[in-house]
Amino acid sequence: MDSSRVLQMICAPGFSTREEADLGAGRGVGMTVVKTTISGLGGTLAMDTRPGKGTRLTIRLPLTLAIMQALIIYIDDQPFVVPRSAIHEVLRVETDAVTMPENNEVIPYRAGVLPIVYLHRLFRMNGKSKNSFHVFVAGSDFSPVGIAVDRIAGQREIVVRSVEDSLVRVPGIAGATELGDGRPVLILDVAAIVEAVKS
Amino acid sequence: MSGPSESFVLFELAGNTCGVRSQAVQSVEMVEHVTAVPNALPFVEGVTFTRGQVIPSVNLRIRFGFPRIPVDLRARMLVVRLKDRTAGMLVDSAREFISIRADAIEPPGETVAGFSVRCVEGIATLANRVVLILNLEEVIEGV
């Protein structure tokens, strides 16, 4: 049997090589999910296997996968984009509402407080001082972090391009995109920013 | 006289003429949108698109400690390839492509005015001027 037939069989719902199923494995579900997820994204799954040597599964996904919804934010007139999926909520904050217990800037948030990190400080840029600014809430549900930016300008679909060169791979930046004018716009790495705030 | 020769792209930087092997130069472009990257090294001007790829743009003036000048119409970005990396180098101007005989290139002396010696691979003396042949790997990587 050639490997593409084997692959078909492995991915068939209910196919399992186990005699018995336990809580986590053995029901013939896993590879079916893998296959349908990849197909759903318009990709392909291929397998190359050599008995006694090993098996290589190759997942190919179309580039359009790298399209995501993003918010456009501004820090000191420079646009950045933030993956929509990383944002729980957007708040407009009056500067007066920020208090500083124990050197941490916080704002009242739901029943408690939300620590605030100013992106312009992290990025060593000039922030615009105004009476109010925008905050997007990120991080886990249990310990959310408010990331403060000068303003949030809108939402759109972006194509993600990787930034690989070590000269420009800096903490807090996940990649780049363009918004139609040929100018690269940096994509924020929200997880890294949240991590930086916590440590 | 004859002998093996190589072709170089020449450019100007703060009054010096520099050369890089033309093989390493993918293109010479007008300086367009460069987006600043926060917390990058001072000489990294930012990122720019070339042929759909995001590449770093290095300001060679800052790299070698010369004062910054505003980008004008003569300014160019040399897109260079080193192994698997591609980077842009911002220079004052670039408009020559010449062939230099290997025996016209001499190793650099102790100091080369304003330039880190490691970045200069050789000095070519042409009819009426001196060309600093740059070692791209040191320029881009040897930070």
Q: Which residue from A minimizes the CA distance to B58?
A: A167
Whole-number Å distance between alpha carbons of A195 and A174:
14
Does the pLDDT of residue B79 top 70, yes or no? yes
Does the pLDDT of residue A112 top 70, yes or no? yes
Looking at residue B112, its pLDDT comes to 63
At B20-40, the pLDDT tens digits run 999 999 999 999 889 999 999
- For residues A186 and A44, the model is more confident at A186
What is the least distance, in Å, from the CA of B89 to any CA of chain A? 12
Size of interface A-B (CB pairs under 8 A): 66
- Which stretch of DSSP H or E encloses residue B81? strand B76-82
Write the DSSP symbol of residue A129: P
Report residue A83 as tokens.
């993956």
Looking at residue A12, its pLDDT comes to 87
Of residues B38, B52, B56, nearest to A123 (C-beta): B38
Strand order in the sheet with A173-178: A151-159, A67-75, A78-83, A184-188, A173-178
Looking at residue A13, its pLDDT comes to 86
Residues 6+ apart with CB under 8 A from B135: B118, B119, B120, B121
What is the least distance, in Å, from the CA of B55 to any CA of chain A? 7
At A6-20, the pLDDT tens digits run 888 888 888 888 888
Does the pLDDT of residue A198 top 80, yes or no? no
Contact A182 B38 (CB under 8 A): no
Question: Within its chain, how far is the Cα of B49 from the centroid?
Answer: 18
Q: Looking at beta carbons, which residues of chain B come within 8 Å of A78?
A: 35-36
B68: number of Cβ within 10 Å: 12
Q: Which residue from B minimizes the CA distance to A163?
A: B54
What is the least distance, in Å, from the CA of B44 to any CA of chain A? 7
At B4-21, the pLDDT tens digits run 889 999 999 999 999 999
B132: number of Cβ within 10 Å: 22
Question: Within its chain, how far is the Cα of B65 from the centroid?
Answer: 14
User: What dihedral angle (degrees, nearest 10) is formed by the CA atoms of B99, B102, B107, B108?
Assistant: -10
Question: In this predicted structure, which of A18-22, A169-173, B109-113 has the lowest mean pLDDT?
Answer: B109-113
Beta carbons of B35 and B28 less than 8 angstroms apart: no
Looking at residue A63, its pLDDT comes to 61
Report residue A123 as tokens.
């990025």
Write the DSSP symbol of residue A171: T
Query: Taking all residues of chain B, what is their mean pLDDT, rounded to a whole number?
Result: 89
- For residues A42 and B57, the model is more confident at B57
Contact A162 B54 (CB under 8 A): yes
Looking at residue B21, its pLDDT comes to 94
- ipTM of the complex model: 0.85
